[in-house]
Structure 1
Amino acid sequence: MTNCAKDSRHRAPDWMDKSFFQTALRSGYQDTSLQVISVNSESGATVGDNFCSNIYRVTVEVQRENAQYEKRSLIVKCQPRGGIIEELVFGADYFNTEIQMYTRILPEMQHILSKVSFGDERMFCTKYIYHGTEPLQYIILEDLSFLEYTPVEGLQGLDYSHCVLVLKSLARFHAASIALLSNKPKLVESFYGNPYQAGRSGLEAVIKSSLRSFALEIKTWPGYETYSERLLKLLGNCFDILVKLNNFKEGGFNVLTHGDLWINNMMFKYHEGAVVDVKFIDLQFSHVTSPAIDLHYFMHTSLSDEVHEYYFYDLLNTYHTTLIETLNLLDCRDKRITFQQLEKELDDHGFYAVYSGIHVHPLALRDSDNLDKDFRDADGRAKSVDKLHTSPHFVKTVKRLLVKFGERGWL
């Protein structure tokens, strides 16, 4: 969703016509007088940017009752049919998870925060417009790029100011979810499932292949052979470990996570050169579990090397402070967690940092064009993983991470 590739294979299908968008926009904007004049579309993501949806960016020209003409830029996400994407997520209900997040959960979380003076500027995601099931499942959202939000290229990672903004927003997201879990538990019942278990048939082989490739690569790096041995020993049950780490823990500190929070799934707004807001995108892995899942995933995939090395605990403190402040405002003081308890959550979920840093992080450093070509078949996927694990920037970063993982007992 963050990159737009003008590939004719990903043009919007014929059923996304003027009549389709007129029905959707009349509902989304609650304006029965709205008329759609024209529709233009292009792909809204490269293959490597979104594995669980086919995405289209659509510009729609509309006319309102007052005769004014307006242009609306929309993102249409469709459940994939056939090919690699369906293969990877077959049997999992990821797409419906995102629809439920936009239609039921996010409005409630926004309402919760509005009671403590957080207004529209605290909206976590873009505006939902419409969804349907025919001829396949789809959801229509406002295009954040049209609202002057932009992605950040993953090669160098996020600087300190971007990271502070993300972690403050994430803390409020988690705090609002805690209030929701407490006040309306039935509303969140469907989010107690585990996306890794649900997608095991498509995900397990891909993740194991990636970790094995990396373990064999670092076996050739002088001084890093021990890390290779440790990782190879874990390969047999590494996916079971990931499933266990993502489970809801009875009596534990649980939040509704984003579930896929990395640099490719957020967009930023700027004013006079300074970053002022962030929006999260792609909510298909949201589930109830430890906040360590979001924290490890973000902080071991998306930070610049300098920020990760020198400001990791400063950022963790920013998250914790904002979490506690927001919980206090929401009158959820009995749901608070100490900083030491948060650190223990991170240690207890340490292998998730290893997985994030080894399997997910290199995707942020990739050459998108080459990855698109490679990811179209199984052999190409294996080759692309090998390339990612030997890219110079990743090698430099992961050597430092491996030492950290070893020192913390996470690997």
Structure 2
Amino acid sequence: MFDHKALTKEKFVEIIGQRENTKDVKLVQIDLESGAEKGQNYSGQVVSCHLEAQVNGKSKTYKWMAKVPLDDPDKYDFLRMLFMEQKELGFYQELLPALHDLIAKRGAKIDLKFCPFVYGEFKQNIPRGDCVHGSMIMMEHLGPMGFTEPKAKRSGLDLDHVKLVMKSLGEFHGASHVYYKYKHDGLDQIVEKEPIQAKDYMSDPKMAAIMEPFSAGMIQSFYNALSSSGPKGDKYLESYRQFSNEKIDPCKLRDQLTRPDVCRFNVLCHGDPWFNNILFKYDGNKPSDVCFVDLALTKWASPTIDLSYFLFLSTTPDLRKAHMSDILKCYHDSLTLTLKSLDDNPTPFSLTELIEDYRKCSFFGFMMAMLMLPMILANKADVLGSEEFTGDFSDPKVIEEMNKLSIERAKITMAKDPLIGHRISCSFLEMVDYGYFTL
């Protein structure tokens, strides 16, 4: 039987009691199982919880998904620096209710696509050895509600999936833009005013220094992937290195693009909207609804940061080449309608400006995809699990061994699946079209 240190009978009784506003709770059955496949979550543990209880003498069933920290003190300090727990808890406990309230007050017909929240807790000064009890997020299990992982996600989401995501991101982005505008009587210095939700801690200089050893291994994996991406891979790699030597380090440019001063129009970005963090409901084979999960990397930036991240990681270059104009118009229509329905004086943001910002910020999505595609598209047997990243992250020897493991696993993936190389090479050519690289 699967069990967990933090998900105890006493804790579930406490949560049910709070939810039902009663002390008359008797648990009859607890069934726990892992809620994520290997390689799907590196920042915490996801646990599926099925509970049978007697509440005020009546039988009740609860199906929840719990997210708790990894039981690994060596990862604990690192993850705390990213404020991931506070971001996600703050989103569900404070921001999402405030957005719902704004929508209700304006009488707008907007349905934000996020999971119903059940319970959350956070402990600031938890001992490292007890890090598994540092936080908890409990949400409704989306499976019984009809949601599932996207079909054929490894081969790339189709246009129906993409348009559903574009519409929903447009509504969320627009609502966040209006909410912060009225909360602070303007949009100046939102990152300073809302540091938990709006700051990109991944790009913070302190974190960049810590991530430098990781980046070295990731870049080497990228070099291998790019050079192995097809018959012209070595030529692409030469062009990439020339860009890096003559202009700017690509990783630094990637991080700079997330700053709110890069583009005129900014929103609260999801920060991690790829296919493993988006669930769909289906009517036959066609997606009919969508739900976003994992709000641990939110940031105040151009909406095209989210768009490029989603499109480069979750769709194929062929789909983008055939439908990019339609995709961006779908997003812009949704964003514009949301701004108009919520804001007495909506901020003008034209489709032309969106296209220009996407071309500028597409490099962010490209870099994230190039670093991650060999991992996220790997066969299950070749995926790196969080349990394989062991040891103290401050130890250079540990980082060196982790980098070696990542590089070797990426080589295996590229050798087994030539379609990944095709996606990488075609994505590189997109950046040539956008004026980043030359051939």
1:383 corresponds to 2:373:
no
Normalised by the length of structure 2, the TM-score is 0.83
Question: Structure 1 stretch 327-336 or stretch 102-111: which is displaced more?
Answer: 327-336
CA–CA distance in structure 2, aligned partners of residues 254 and 114 of structure 1:
23
CA–CA distance in structure 2, aligned partners of residues 118 and 369 of structure 1:
47
| Deviation of 1:319 (Å) | 0.1
| Deviation of 1:407 (Å) | 1.4
Say whether the 8 Å CA contact 2:91–2:197 is kept in structure 1. no
Match of 2:435 in 1: 409
Say whether the 8 Å CA contact 2:226–2:421 is kept in structure 1. no
CA–CA distance in structure 2, aligned partners of residues 123 and 369 of structure 1:
36
| Selected match of 2:11 from 16, 20, 31 | 20
CA–CA distance in structure 1, aligned partners of residues 374 and 160 of structure 2:
22
- 1:1-40, aligned counterparts within 5 Å? 11-40=2-31
Say whether the 8 Å CA contact 1:171–1:319 is kept in structure 2. yes
Local SS of the residue matching 1:49: coil
Match of 2:129 in 1: none
1:97 corresponds to 2:87:
yes
Normalised by the length of structure 1, the TM-score is 0.88
Evaluate the alpha carbon distance shift between residue 389 and residue 204 of structure 1 in structure 2; reply closer, same or farther with a 3 A threshold: farther
Match of 2:194 in 1: 188
| Selected match of 1:124 from 113, 122, 125 | 113
| Deviation of 1:20 (Å) | 0.4
CA–CA distance in structure 1, aligned partners of residues 260 and 310 of structure 2:
20
Q: Which amino acid counterpart does residue 378 of structure 2 have in structure 1?
A: R
- Unaligned ranges ≥5, structure 1: 1-7
Q: Which amino acid counterpart does residue 210 of structure 1 have in structure 2?
A: M
Q: Which amino acid counterpart does residue 73 of structure 1 have in structure 2?
A: K
1:69 corresponds to 2:69:
no
Percentage identity across aligned positions? Answer: 21
Say whether the 8 Å CA contact 1:59–1:74 is kept in structure 2. yes
1:211 corresponds to 2:219:
yes
1:239 corresponds to 2:268:
no
- Unaligned ranges ≥5, structure 2: 124-132, 185-189, 390-401
Q: Could you give the per-residue CA deviations for residues 171-193 of structure 1, whole angstroms, max 9, x where no partner exists?
A: 00000000111112387343332
CA–CA distance in structure 1, aligned partners of residues 37 and 173 of structure 2:
30
Match of 2:145 in 1: 147
Say whether the 8 Å CA contact 1:58–1:75 is kept in structure 2. yes
Q: Which amino acid counterpart does residue 388 of structure 2 have in structure 1?
A: R
Q: Which amino acid counterpart does residue 383 of structure 1 have in structure 2?
A: E
Local SS of the residue matching 1:14: coil
| Deviation of 1:371 (Å) | 0.9
Match of 2:418 in 1: 392
- 1:38-57, aligned counterparts within 5 Å? 38-57=29-48
| Deviation of 1:74 (Å) | 1.2
CA–CA distance in structure 1, aligned partners of residues 139 and 149 of structure 2:
17
Q: Which amino acid counterpart does residue 239 of structure 2 have in structure 1?
A: R
| Deviation of 1:64 (Å) | 2.8
Say whether the 8 Å CA contact 1:17–1:39 is kept in structure 2. no
Question: Structure 1 stretch 14-23 or stretch 192-201: which is displaced more?
Answer: 192-201
| Deviation of 1:146 (Å) | 2.3
Match of 1:329 in 2: 341
Question: Structure 1 stretch 221-230 or stretch 46-55: which is displaced more?
Answer: 221-230
Local SS of the residue matching 1:349: helix
Match of 1:358 in 2: 370
| Deviation of 1:306 (Å) | 4.5
| Deviation of 1:112 (Å) | 2.1
Question: Structure 1 stretch 36-45 or stretch 110-119: which is displaced more?
Answer: 110-119
Evaluate the alpha carbon distance shift between residue 116 and residue 385 of structure 1 in structure 2; reply closer, same or farther with a 3 A threshold: farther
CA–CA distance in structure 2, aligned partners of residues 318 and 383 of structure 1:
40
Q: Which amino acid counterpart does residue 297 of structure 2 have in structure 1?
A: F
Local SS of the residue matching 1:321: helix
Local SS of the residue matching 1:122: coil
Match of 1:260 in 2: 272
Local SS of the residue matching 1:282: coil
Say whether the 8 Å CA contact 1:192–1:248 is kept in structure 2. no
Say whether the 8 Å CA contact 2:50–2:62 is kept in structure 1. yes
CA–CA distance in structure 2, aligned partners of residues 366 and 87 of structure 1:
28
Say whether the 8 Å CA contact 2:161–2:287 is kept in structure 1. yes
CA–CA distance in structure 2, aligned partners of residues 125 and 204 of structure 1:
33
CA–CA distance in structure 1, aligned partners of residues 105 and 166 of structure 2:
21
CA–CA distance in structure 1, aligned partners of residues 436 and 170 of structure 2:
24
Local SS of the residue matching 2:154: coil
CA–CA distance in structure 1, aligned partners of residues 106 and 381 of structure 2:
45
Question: Structure 1 stretch 369-378 or stretch 312-321: which is displaced more?
Answer: 369-378
CA–CA distance in structure 1, aligned partners of residues 208 and 379 of structure 2:
27
| Deviation of 1:375 (Å) | 6.6
Q: Number of residues paired by the alignment?
A: 400
Say whether the 8 Å CA contact 1:267–1:279 is kept in structure 2. yes
Match of 2:102 in 1: 112
Say whether the 8 Å CA contact 1:126–1:281 is kept in structure 2. yes
| Deviation of 1:48 (Å) | 1.1
CA–CA distance in structure 1, aligned partners of residues 94 and 33 of structure 2:
29
Q: Which amino acid counterpart does residue 373 of structure 2 have in structure 1?
A: H
Evaluate the alpha carbon distance shift between residue 25 and residue 216 of structure 1 in structure 2; reply closer, same or farther with a 3 A threshold: same
CA–CA distance in structure 2, aligned partners of residues 87 and 387 of structure 1:
31
